[in-house]
Amino acid sequence: MKGVGNRVSGNTIHHSPHLAILLAGNEHSIDHNDIHTVAMETHDVGAFYMGRDWTQRGNHVDANYFHNIGHSDVNAIYLDDFTSGTLVTNNVVERSHRGVLIGGGHDNIIRSNRFIACDMAIHFDARGRSWAKSWFDGRDTTLLTGLKAVPVDQEPWRTRYPELLTVTNGDPAYPKGNRLENNTAHASPLWVFYKDDLTAADIAQTGNQIRPEATPIRPEWVTGMGLPNQTSVIEERLKKISPTQARLTLTNRGLAPASGIYDIWADPSAAVSPASVPFTLKPGESKETTIQIQANGPIRLGAGSRGETFSPAGLNLLNF
């Protein structure tokens, strides 16, 4: 979605190999959506994604339910490559590798969100001082070109985004003005992952609660997010347990019973047993299956829900 002042509201977006929402522009609202089972094939991705322009400000990600978001290097809300001036409020993020990634940007506010069983609730980096120095030493002019294209000293820019008048002052690679306020993290091993020599002193934090205990989703937390009809939410996790075994865990994270079949694949082709796993699960139920592998060398092993369009679905690399 591009432009100014558009709204994505009340949708259920699910079963996508890549991201759900790609945003560019200003003053958009992404609110009251149910976003799940996305980013199932790709890494370095977000269910919600925007980036690479200081001037794209005033966007609001509010009261969405992000859950069952891909595998490994994935984010529920990805404020990539110096995204700035974004307001992220009242979202529920469940079981994503990262809840929110702040990738070197300025003036982002993360407020009153709930993170549940994420590997890390917040990722906060100063990439402009490390691997992305090229954005500031003249080799990559993307940010400055975007800034010069906007008359920041004229209205309405001057009044609406006064930070743009001074964004290049001092050390623009330093991620200033970001705030974490009144968020709650449940059973997430890391509250904030600081990178590039940043510490807690580099981001304003008030009223956040870190709770080590797990918690189920309460209906009132996600009421009004997405369409009223129920969609299948099967969480699939495949884990190596020995050189010849892997464990497939299927969990029904939805609100209605679900059944189906997961097919097991190997690349290059190898003998796997069982080759398919049928399941019938009530909400909250899990099924664990041990997969036996006979292979003469390294393989990739995966599991995909029969009938899905993913190719393959839920890719998981195992190096034997």
Lowest-confidence range among 57-71, 79-93, 196-210? 57-71
Q: What is the mean pLDDT of residues 230-240?
A: 84
For 18-68, the pLDDT digits (tens) are: 999 999 999 999 999 999 989 988 889 999 999 999 999 999 999 999 998
What pLDDT score was predicted for residue 152?
96
Lowest-confidence range among 11-25, 69-83, 223-237? 223-237
Q: Which residues have a Cβ under 8 Å from the Cβ of 225 and sit 6 or more positions away?
A: 32, 33, 34, 63, 64, 65, 92
Q: What is the overall mean pLDDT for the chain?
A: 92
What pLDDT score was predicted for residue 266?
86
Lowest-confidence range among 87-96, 204-213, 299-308? 299-308
Joined tokens for residue 220? 């009132």
Please answer whether residues 175 and 106 qualify as being in contact, where contact means their C-beta atoms are separated by less than 8 angstroms.
yes
pTM (predicted TM-score): 0.89
Examine the pLDDT at 313 and tell me if it is beyond 60. no
Q: Which residues have a Cβ under 8 Å from the Cβ of 3 and sit 6 or more positions away?
A: 25, 28
3-state secondary structure 239-307: EEEECCEEEEEEEECCCCCEEEEEEEEEECCCEEECCEEEEEECCCCEEEEEEEEECCCCCEEEEEECC
What pLDDT score was predicted for residue 310?
64
Lowest-confidence range among 204-213, 250-259, 275-284? 250-259
What pLDDT score was predicted for residue 311?
54
Q: Confidence class of residue 260 from pLDDT cuts 50, 70 and 90?
A: very high
For 95-136, the pLDDT digits (tens) are: 899 999 999 999 999 999 999 999 999 999 999 999 999 999
Q: Confidence class of residue 320 from pLDDT cuts 50, 70 and 90?
A: very low
Residue located via tokens 């996305």: 38
What are the angstrom distances between the C-alpha of 91 and each of 24, 50, 110, 116, 143? Answer: 20, 17, 10, 11, 29
What pLDDT score was predicted for residue 205?
98
CA atoms of 316 and 62, how far apart (whole Å): 31
CA atoms of 28 and 57, how far apart (whole Å): 9
Q: What is the mean pLDDT of residues 207-215?
A: 93
What pLDDT score was predicted for residue 305?
87
Give percent of the chain with pLDDT exceeding 90.
72
Phi, psi of 110 (to 5 degrees): -110, 105
Domain segments of the chain as ranges:
7-222, 234-316
Examine the pLDDT at 227 and tell me if it is beyond 80. yes
For 141-186, the pLDDT digits (tens) are: 999 999 999 999 999 999 999 999 999 999 999 999 999 999 999 9
What CATH number belongs to 234-316?
2.60.40.10
